[in-house]
Structure 1
Amino acid sequence: MLIISVTSIAFSTVDSDDFAIARREVLLRRIGHELLLQSGDSTSRVLPVKNIDENEYQISFENKLTFLPDSLINVTQRLLAKDPLAGDYVVKVLNAENSSVAYGYAIAKNKKDDIIACIGRKQPEAPYIISIKFKPQGITTTKNGYLLGSLPFLAFVGFIFLRSVKPERSSPQVPYVGIITLGSVLFDTINRTLQINGKTIELTGTECRVLHIFASSPNETVERSRLQKEIWEDEGVIVGRSLDMFISKLRKRLESDPNIKISVVRGIGYKLEILR
């Protein structure tokens, strides 16, 4: 029974990894999509993601684009935080015209090991290719044959495991990102600003808090009661009209981008809709 169980686990692990890798490719395409939007391009395509090595991928584009390193870093960190197989990785931005490396950085699980430089300098328009190389994650990235060929060893490990106390696993913490991308809009939660089409819009403290709740759950309904509780209850008062006023103000702030809107979900609350 133990061998059968371990065999099932082996196949399950392979299937799980295949699914995670497929999901990773979707996340990588999303990175390309958001970079195009930030570059002001909402019509050209992100080309199919290339898996050029076991742990290395390339994102390329139909047309030339420009990018801000800060935005690239924030987009990759935010989206790859959803990849269960992504730990440490290195990002290189290649110029397809001359094969030079236009920009690069390294991200690690241990934040102090991050290598990031030259942020804040907008890169000129060029045919860029984003190359992302992930650090291998041990057994979860081994080939299927190796995994299945190791069943006797896995059976032994399973036997030892069954005799031990199973520790609780803590959920991975998604790193807090100061800049959140909403379509083509950059929302700086620390400095309370929006960057829209090269224009900076300052937000009040309450506007920033309300928008941050929406940005944490894009395209999802946020209950009116939750907004009132999280924004105003700490101040000892809940006023329905105050919420309506701030929603109205945020709509005006975001109206420059037709792909973003705050809609009413009748009888429930609101939804920050980001068209894709």
Structure 2
Amino acid sequence: MSDSQNLFSGKRKYLFGLALLSFISVIFASFSMADSNDFDISKREILLRRIGHEILLQSGDSISRVLPVKKIAENEYQIRFEKEFSFQPDSLVNITQRLLAKDPLASDHVVTILNCGDSSVAYGYAISKNKKEDNVPCIGRIQPKACYVINIKFKPTGINTVKSGYLLAGLPFLALVGFLFFKSVTPRKQKTLPDSQDTNLFTLGSVLFDAKNRKLIINENTIDLTATETRVLLIFALSPNETIERSRLQKEIWEDEGVIVGRSLDMFISKLRKKLELDSNINIVVIRGKGYKLEISS
């Protein structure tokens, strides 16, 4: 088999490899970002527990526990405590800023301290990467001992957006490569084309079919065709070695005349066979249950 007939040779193999490599690259990038995202979230939860621990120490409590950090919404976490405590707002702000500085994705955040009983806001402040936008009220007022939970909400970092962007941006490229690949491997139908630029002339084996003048020229012999024979043979000549449905032939040849007769088609097929029999390589064969085919053997 020649190189041009090998499905995965040359250009086709290159396109297949490019498509596969592109697909693997996009998937790898997406999963790498997902792994990185999970790792950053785990680090953040540890920092939040550390914040809770230092707040308790600041209040003079070195015994009670910081309960597991709870993720209450996308980019929002809740620090819970085993016992009541009091806090100084300035110490709370300093502790959170110092520890969250270790998280490069936490420069913008809002801290809200809620009363456990009614979820009313006991204190809150906002920190921004742009220091001019910081909002830290009531720093000097000590908050009484009570049951508190601390909610910390971070500004969306766009990690998920970027990850989705990688996938979405990669899909059109993969589609393009896939289209080029399948286009290159799709076998082209081989049709017998006319030797002449005149589309009314068709070379069928050793037979020259002149559709315009309704003639067959075989070995210097000229055979006249009727108008209907010409129309039938033209349909076959445009699709050699392909099955033509019987219903299509009947519709295209006789429907305009208002009458479709099955035996009329068989009669014209029979007449065409006789006129083409001078070339043994050409034959109109019956495809049982479907229709007919103009077979041209080399």
Counterpart-to-counterpart distance in 1, 2:134 and 2:98:
15
Which amino acid in the other structure matches residue 120 of structure 1?
G
Which amino acid in the other structure matches residue 61 of structure 2?
D
Kindly state the Cα deviation for residue 86 of structure 1 after the two structures are TM-superposed: 1.3
Give matches, 1:78-227, under 5 Å: 78-138=98-158, 140-142=159-161, 146=164, 149-150=167-168, 152=170
Kindly state the Cα deviation for residue 154 of structure 1 after the two structures are TM-superposed: 9.4
Kindly state the Cα deviation for residue 99 of structure 1 after the two structures are TM-superposed: 1.6
Kindly state the Cα deviation for residue 121 of structure 1 after the two structures are TM-superposed: 1.1
Percent identity for Structure 1 against Structure 2: 62
Kindly state the Cα deviation for residue 98 of structure 1 after the two structures are TM-superposed: 2.4
Kept after mapping to 2: 8 A contact 1:64/1:127: yes
User: For residue 56 of structure 2, what is the aligned residue in structure 1?
Assistant: 36
Comparing 23-32 and 147-156, the one that deviates more? 147-156
Determine which structure has more spread, i.e. the larger CA radius of gyration. Answer: 2
User: Measured at CA, do residues 69 and 52 of structure 1 come closer, stay the same or move farther in structure 2, by a change above 3 Å?
Assistant: same
User: For residue 5 of structure 1, what is the aligned residue in structure 2?
Assistant: 25
Which amino acid in the other structure matches residue 81 of structure 1?
A
Question: Comparing both chains, which one has the higher relative contact order based on Cα–Cα distances under 8 Å and sequence gaps of 6 or more?
Answer: 1
Kindly state the Cα deviation for residue 100 of structure 1 after the two structures are TM-superposed: 1.0
Q: Does 1:47 align with 2:82?
A: no
Counterpart-to-counterpart distance in 2, 1:79 and 1:123:
21
CA deviation vs aligned residue, 1:167-226 (integer Å, no higher than 9, x gap) = xxxxxxxxxxxxxxxxxxxxxxxxxxxxxxxxxxxxxxxxxxxxxxxxxxxxxxxxxxxx
Of the candidates 12, 20, 23, which is equivalent to residue 43 of structure 2? 23
TM-score, length-scaled by structure 1: 0.52
User: Measured at CA, do residues 43 and 149 of structure 1 come closer, stay the same or move farther in structure 2, by a change above 3 Å?
Assistant: same
Counterpart-to-counterpart distance in 2, 1:63 and 1:143:
41
User: Measured at CA, do residues 16 and 45 of structure 1 come closer, stay the same or move farther in structure 2, by a change above 3 Å?
Assistant: same
User: For residue 56 of structure 1, what is the aligned residue in structure 2?
Assistant: 76
Counterpart-to-counterpart distance in 2, 1:30 and 1:154:
45
Counterpart-to-counterpart distance in 2, 1:107 and 1:155:
41
Kindly state the Cα deviation for residue 120 of structure 1 after the two structures are TM-superposed: 1.4
Please give the root-mean-square deviation of Cα atoms over the aligned residues, in Å.
2.2
* Alignment length (residue pairs): 154
User: Measured at CA, do residues 129 and 23 of structure 1 come closer, stay the same or move farther in structure 2, by a change above 3 Å?
Assistant: same
Question: 5+ residue gaps in structure 1?
Answer: 157-276
Counterpart-to-counterpart distance in 1, 2:108 and 2:55:
21
User: Measured at CA, do residues 153 and 135 of structure 1 come closer, stay the same or move farther in structure 2, by a change above 3 Å?
Assistant: farther
